[in-house]
Chain A
Amino acid sequence: MLNRISTYFFRRPNLVLAIFLIPPLLYLLVVYLGSLVSLLVNSFYSIDDFTGMIVREFTMRTYAQVFNITNREIIFRTATMALIVTIVDAMIAFPLAYYIAKFASPRLKTWLLIAVTIPLWSSYLVRVYAWKLILAKEGILSWFIHLFNLTDALDWLLGLPGIGGSSLSLSPIGMFIVFVYIWLPYMIIPIQTALERVPGSLLEASSDLGARPSQTFRTVILPLAFPGVVAGSIFTFSLTLGDFIIPLTLGNSKFFIGQAVYSYQGTGGNVPLAAAMTMGPVVIMVLYLLIARRLGAFDAI
């Protein structure tokens, strides 16, 4: 009996393929793309200011609201933060990923990869609150800064307009530190994977042909690791764009996109505006991917 079933499927490979592929495809289509489409549709509705009811008629009025001065600032602020976090994460991640991929012994490699991913085992919320305590005015970081007599430097940093605040935990600088920390593994792993796939003989060939290590880095390692950097930056950039817990917990009173969406649809009940606001990160990400493709990030895939 079992044999006959096996034979039946063996003779119909397309049926097997369909059985395996249709559920995830349906899921992708209905849940992912479906919700995106409903988001898009909703963003073209508007809310009746008087009754607070959603008016299901096509209008650009909501998008006009997205581009009012407050929301423009929110989008700009969030995108800037996402960009800086991404750049700094890439700069921190690259040397570590390079070391893990090309120099560490197999044993050390395992340990380093565990060390990189261990933070992901604990709750994101717990880690954010832990950082809130670390960065607080009476927190351990301040204590260290005091210990090394760097209090003046910290005060100067916190006094900077726009990014300062009353303490690290209540300033954009603090948010930035936590964002960099929280998304770092998502940058290390793709870069490490990309570098892992670069055969050692390519680096030897480059050196053999007369390239100094810095030239090999620029002309061989970096271009071949670039898809990994792009993959990592998609994570760090989009995760920062959409996050609302960290700005809520650590920042000052200035909104980020995530917070705005949260308050528009939650407190305000303005689903169309929240939807239109969400389209911001989607558009930014699409633009970002197009630019990355232009730069040849996906050529080697």
Chain B
Amino acid sequence: MMNNPSAPAITFEKVSRYFGEVKAVDQIDLEVIDGEFFSMLGPSGSGKTTCLRMIAGFDRPTSGQIHLYGRDVSSLPPYERDVNTVFQDYALFPHMNVGDNIAYGLMVKNVARQERTKHVDEMLELVQLSGFAGRKPSQLSGGQRQRVALARALINHPKVLLLDEPLGALDLKLRQQMQVELKTIQKRVGITFIFVTHDQEEAITMSDRIAVFNQGKIEQIGSPSDIYERPASSFVAGFVGTSNLVSGEIAKHSTGSEQTFSIRPEKIHIGSLSDTPHSDMISMDGVIRDVVYLGLFTRYLVEIEGGVDLVVVEQNLKSTSMDVLSAKGQKVRLSWHQDHISRVGG
């Protein structure tokens, strides 16, 4: 093989995929580093799944090239790529039991039955399903099917594992548990994971790096904290977490520039009008228009000058619901550290 171990796991060079007039993926350049947990995050129709399908080989770029460890795989069929996929609907073979499903990748390579059984047992242990080999997929719960799909995709020791919204169908508790488990398994097997999701929290929890997709293009690539703390565009600021976008006159008033900036709700401090904020803080007066008590924290809607509403979140360290709900209508002084704003252009 012409693989180069020091090359990036995946490289996209000006990759486009058009469906008729629709530019599903538009001139994307991308590098996924060997061994990292890389997430492709974006709303539906943003091109993230098409990118994943092109890496797997189910779809081919209209133009551009995809490299897998330095080798051009753009026109190779899926069965000649060292890449395996965990499908959104798991795609387990309904006519085979769990053991045969997991062994499938070895079976098509004519690995002897004894050898297969050994590997299947290892995989079942990895995904904590020992003893399930004889069951049919229809006899498993959603979470168990998910694990079987993962084991099946890992048994060939692929260079890159692709995960297409694999946790989408699970309930919240199970999803959070699987997030931790996926991360653990990734560290144990040391394989590059590419994870497609529309759930920003999931991407932030699990990833080493995230690419935020929008309308066939990548808006930003960076670590979870980069993406969250320093959104590069108003789209990223809005899609990843909640953000207050401030522009025009009001922006000029607080930063000296009309350029739009974003500030996260939890970075804003609510104080009384008598407070004098520190010199590197920016402050602004407003009226609390709405209060939503959420148990762990409270969300305020504060109207500042010019009729602009800012969302502010404060943890309920001492306050009870009685305290916070009575705050409605109060005049307050908002303040935030000038380092906590991100200029997002426009």
By a beta-carbon cutoff of 8 Å, the part of chain A in contact with chain B is 199, 201-202, 204-212, 215, 219-220, 223-224, 296, 299-300
Contact = CB atoms under 8 A, between A and B. Distances in A.
A212 B105 CA distance: 11
B85 interface: yes
Given A201-B87, A215-B108, A207 B78 contact: yes
A300 B93 CA distance: 11
Given A199-B89, A201-B89, A215-B108, A208 B84 contact: yes
A201 B86 CA distance: 10
B278 interface: no
Contact of A202 (B57, B58, B88, B93): B93
A209 B94 contact: no
Interface in B93-144: 93-95, 104-105, 107-109
B77 interface: yes
Given A201-B89, A204-B78, A208-B56, 11 more contacts: A202-B91, A204-B58, A204-B85, A204-B91, A205-B91, A205-B152, A206-B108, A207-B58, A207-B79, A209-B152, A224-B95
B58 to A, nearest CB: 5
A146 B309 CA distance: 89
Candidate in A201, A210, A223 with the most chain B CB atoms within 10 angstroms: A210
A210 B87 contact: no
14 contacts: A199-B89, A201-B89, A204-B91, A207-B57, A207-B78, A207-B79, A208-B57, A208-B85, A209-B152, A210-B108, A211-B79, A224-B95, A296-B95, A300-B95
A37 B231 CA distance: 79
B77 A207 contact: yes
A202 B56 CA distance: 14
B242 interface: no
B117 to A, nearest CB: 17
A204 to B, nearest CB: 5
B6 to A, nearest CB: 26
B259 interface: no
B108 A219 contact: yes
B255 interface: no
Given A204-B78, A204-B87, A208-B84, A220 B93 contact: yes
A207 B109 CA distance: 12
Contacts of B95: 223-224, 296, 299-300
A210 B91 contact: no
B79 A212 contact: yes
B156 interface: yes
A209 B108 CA distance: 8
Contacts of B84: 208-209
A206 B77 contact: no
Interface residues of B, number: 24
B198 to A, nearest CB: 18
Nearest to B56: A208
A206 to B, nearest CB: 7
Given A204-B58, A224-B94, A210 B89 contact: no
Given A204-B78, A204-B87, A205-B85, A210 B94 contact: no
Contact of A208 (B78, B88, B93, B94): B78
A29 to B, nearest CB: 33
Contact of A211 (B83, B85, B91, B108): B108
A237 to B, nearest CB: 23
B58 A209 contact: no
Which of B58, B91, B152 has the most CB atoms of chain A within a 10 A radius of its CB? B91
Nearest to B138: A300
User: Which A-B residue pairs are the 6 nearest by beta carbons?
Assistant: A201-B91, A205-B91, A209-B105, A211-B108, A207-B78, A208-B85
Contacts of B93: 202, 205-206, 220
B229 to A, nearest CB: 37
Instruction: Name the residue among A209, A215, A220, A224 with the largest chain B CB count within 10 angstroms.
Output: A209
Nearest to A212: B79
Contacts of A208: 56-58, 78-79, 83-85, 153
Interface in B36-93: 56-58, 77-79, 83-85, 87-89, 91, 93
Contacts of B87: 201, 204-205
A299 B137 CA distance: 13
B77 A210 contact: no
Interface in B183-228: none
Nearest to B88: A201
Contacts of A300: 94-95
A219 B58 CA distance: 19
A299 B94 CA distance: 10
Interface string B141-178: 00000000000110010000000000000000000000
Contacts of B105: 209-210
A210 B109 contact: yes
A211 B108 CA distance: 6
Nearest to B77: A207
A210 B156 contact: yes
Nearest to B95: A223
Contacts of A212: 79, 108
